[in-house]
Structure 1
Amino acid sequence: MATSYTPTEDRVRAAAPVALGVFRITVALLFMMHGTAKLFGWPDGSPAVLAAWPQWWAGILEVVLGGLIAVGLCTRSAAFLASGMMAVAYFWMHFPASLWPKVNGGEPAVLYCFVFLLLVFAGPGAFAVARR
């Protein structure tokens, strides 16, 4: 049985890959910015000491994984790693202070974790170097 959609629903469905692509690029660039802040002190703060654990290494992962996700290359794999990285960051750095992300400052880590997990399942959308 075929499902019929209104013209508005058809237009929204047709635009979904573009919306997903813009979402992926925006989130990835914001994620990369966290890495550049750790590595270079840009756009704010001071850079982490070279090879300092875990800040410098987290910055490397944020720049590399964010870059891959932004251009849409190995999106699902990079998003899976980034999601796991954010889960580890939450449980290692934030959770010991409190269960609640609003209280322990872990809201960005939780959001990034689930946004990247969504990209694992949804794929890159439009504007990706690789479509898978």
Structure 2
Amino acid sequence: MVNIGLLMIRLVIGLTFFGHGAQKLFGWFGGPGIAGMGNWLETLGLEKGAKVWATLAGLFELIGGLLFAAGFLTWIGAIMIVIVMIDAIFTVHCKNGYWMTNGGFEYNLVLIAVAIGVALIGPGDYVLLFHSKS
């Protein structure tokens, strides 16, 4: 049952991050695309290189989410997810306090804990490409 639990966590978190990355990079799923994301980042004060940062955030979410979901190089996917969430905390949510109801960083911290937890435990037996013994 542990392996099924890890698979469920990896798929939900990983595919959600993949979707967020696709929103930023390609405008899929109602997302803004790189131009729209760059414009939004400019409103946060990232006036220089906003489109570069939008691209990097999108790539980290897309690639990190796929690695995490697949259970392949899970620790690298987790690091990519954690980096994006730390950035989101400091650029957007920290000023609003902890609770998500006030726009705070509560949910970002939960995602960081899940990503690090799975990276430390391992992906479990149900992984793409390789069969591992956790």
Q: Is the 1:39–1:59 Cα contact (8 Å) retained in structure 2?
A: yes
Deviations 1:6-26 (A, max 9, x none): xxxxxxxxx111221122122
Counting aligned pairs with the same residue, the percent is 27
Measured in 1, the distance between the counterparts of 2:106 and 2:26 equals: 24
Per-residue CA distance 1:82-128 (angstroms, 9 max, x = gap): 22331232122221x32224212534422221211111211101321
- TM-score normalized with structure 2 length: 0.74
Aligned residues: 117
Contact kept? 2:96, 2:104, Cα under 8 Å: no
For residues 1-132 of structure 1, the aligned pairs below 5 Å read: 15-49=1-35, 52-95=51-94, 97-102=95-100, 103-128=102-127, 129-130=129-130, 131=132
Q: What do you get for the CA RMSD once the two structures are aligned?
A: 2.1
CA distance in 1, matches of 2:53, 2:21: 12
Q: TM-score, normalization: structure 1?
A: 0.75
Is the radius of gyration larger for structure 1 or structure 2? 1
> Can you give the 5+ residue segments of structure 1 that lack an aligned partner in the other structure?
1-14
Higher helix share: 2
Aligned counterparts of 1:91 and 1:123: Cα–Cα separation in 2: 28
Unaligned runs of 5+ in 2: 39-49
